């Protein structure tokens, strides 16, 4: 991704607000054809790059823009550098955030084969909204991440009035308090979106599950969790689509994995877009990871995240085999490091 001045055509690799000479807003431009123009092999491990050897590639696009990228695969100079998209509902896409969430979201969604959305699509977004904590605790989905997801939809023509941002409280704390303190309410207000309390919606009974009818009357639901070390945060966030009393009853009788498997049988395909820029560890401190994940299978996404952060697997993920999950974008070895040791 590059940023170009529409007048003087000067390029920047990072999103400046305006061209420093013409004071015009920069245009976002995608690199189309990327070639490897330089390679260096690294054999000394560091905290962020514990696995060696790896390669640092110097890449160049068709417009002569250059940048570096880590790779576990060895390339030859002159070779084309491609990231293939596949349409597989089990696949998990990973991308590193360079300067903005929006680019990372575009990349992971492209890797999954894109979305069929237009101006009439109705979208339901479900961020993690668990407690009235400020965003620097990484307890709830980050406000910048929610804002980028909304912008992603708007840039694809989705009308703002067709976007709903939903949440539900499963404890005594009113959802409005969490929405305010987490700054997610702010993001909704700035985008002119009315937040939706799922507890106020109708629930449809499907076998043992009472599921908000909102998820069935929407064209696409986006699960927008923040990931936490040692947890299955993406899968768990979908429980918020259940009626509170129903969820508490299910939880008394079944494991998280059983609830997840039972619930997803009745849900339409849901895109999970996960915020893993600043990740809460089990001791509640926050470590920088700088990644975005996407998948139509939330459990697979949680499993890949656990592999990358080298965390002890939560019970719900123990039977998910990492070798059976197609992984796109970045390889696990390229982005893996032990969060808990930081």
Interacting residue ranges for Zn ion, rule: CB under 5 A: 5, 7-8, 19, 21-22
Specify the residue, 17 or 84, whose C-beta has the smaller distance to Zn ion.
17
Least distance (Å) from Zn ion to the CB of residue 23?
8
Nearer to Zn ion, 11 or 194 (CB): 11
Which residue's CB is nearer to Zn ion, number 12 or number 216? 12
Closest CA to 263 of 296, 239, 282, 285: 239
Of the pair 8, 42, the CB lying nearest Zn ion is at 8
What does each C-alpha distance from 97 to 1, 57, 104, 291, 292 come to in angstroms?
11, 17, 6, 6, 7
CB closer to Zn ion out of 7 and 265: 7
Query: Nearer to Zn ion by C-beta: 10 or 244?
Result: 10
87 within 8 A of 326, measured Cβ to Cβ: no
| CB 155 to Zn ion: min, Å | 22
Q: Check residue 18 and report its DSSP letter.
A: B
Q: Please, what is the minimum distance in Å from the beta carbon of residue 248 to Zn ion?
A: 58
CB of 24 to Zn ion, least distance (A): 6
Sheet containing 2-4, strands listed edge to edge, beginning at the edge strand earlier in sequence: 11-12, 2-4, 27-29
Contact 145, 95 (CB under 8 A): no
- Sequence-distant (≥ 6) Cβ neighbours of residue 172 within 8 angstroms: none
Length of the chain: 342
Nearer to Zn ion, 26 or 92 (CB): 26
Residues 117, 118, 122: CA angle, nearest 5 degrees: 75
Residues 188 and 165 sit within 8 Å (Cβ to Cβ):
yes
Closest approach of Zn ion to the CB of residue 20, in Å: 8
Q: How far is the CB of 230 from Zn ion (least distance, A)?
A: 48
Angle between helices 143-155 and 184-191 (to 10 degrees): 30
Query: How many Å apart are CA 303 and CA 190, to the nearest integer?
Result: 34
66-79 burial code (b ≥16 CB/10 A, e <16): eeebbbeeebeeee
Q: How many other β-carbons are positioned within 10 Å of the β-carbon of residue 255?
A: 12
Task: Burial-class residue 319 by CB neighbours within 10 Å (0-12, 13-18, 19+).
Answer: exposed
Q: How many CB atoms lie within 10 A of CB 40?
A: 10
- What is d(CA 221, CA 201) in angstroms, rounded to the nearest whole number? 15
Q: How far is the CB of 33 from Zn ion (least distance, A)?
A: 25
Q: Which is nearer to Zn ion, 3 or 209 (CB)?
A: 3
Closest to Zn ion by CB, 19 vs 153, is 19
How far apart are CB 21 and Zn ion at their closest, in Å?
A: 5
Least Å from the CB of residue 14 to Zn ion: 15
């Amino acid at each position: 991704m590059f940023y170009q001045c529409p007048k003087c055509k000067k390029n920047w690799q990072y999103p400046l607000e305006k061209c420093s000479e013409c004071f015009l807003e920069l245009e976002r431009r995608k690199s189309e054809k990327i070639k490897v123009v330089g390679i260096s092999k690294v054999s000394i491990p560091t905290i962020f790059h514990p696995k060696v050897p790896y390669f640092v590639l110097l890449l160049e696009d068709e417009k002569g823009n250059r940048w570096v990228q880590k790779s576990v695969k060895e390339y030859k100079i002159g070779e084309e550098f491609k990231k293939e998209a596949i349409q597989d509902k089990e696949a998990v896409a990973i991308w590193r955030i360079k300067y903005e969430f929006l680019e990372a979201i575009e990349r992971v969604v492209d890797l999954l084969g894109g979305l069929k959305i237009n101006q009439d699509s109705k979208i339901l977004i479900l961020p993690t909204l668990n407690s009235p904590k400020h965003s620097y605790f990484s307890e709830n989905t980050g406000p910048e991440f929610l804002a980028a997801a909304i912008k992603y939809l708007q840039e694809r023509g989705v009308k703002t009035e067709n976007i709903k941002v939903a949440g539900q409280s499963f404890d005594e704390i009113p959802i409005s308090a969490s929405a305010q303190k987490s700054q997610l309410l702010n993001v909704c207000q700035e985008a002119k979106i009315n937040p939706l309390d799922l507890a106020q919606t109708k629930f449809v009974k499907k076998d043992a599950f009472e599921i908000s009818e909102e998820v069935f009357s929407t064209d696409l639901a986006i699960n927008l969790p923040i990931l936490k070390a040692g947890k299955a945060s993406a899968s768990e966030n979908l429980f918020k689509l259940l009626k509170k009393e129903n969820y508490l009853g299910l939880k008394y009788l079944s494991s998280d994995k059983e609830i997840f498997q039972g619930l997803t049988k009745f849900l339409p395909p849901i895109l999970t877009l996960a915020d893993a820029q600043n990740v809460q560890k089990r001791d509640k401190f926050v470590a920088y990871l700088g990644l975005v994940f996407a998948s139509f299978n939330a459990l697979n996404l949680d499993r890949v995240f656990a592999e990358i952060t080298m965390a002890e697997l939560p019970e719900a993920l123990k039977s998910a085999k990492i070798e059976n999950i197609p992984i796109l974008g970045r390889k696990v070895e390229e982005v893996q490091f032990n969060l808990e040791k930081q």
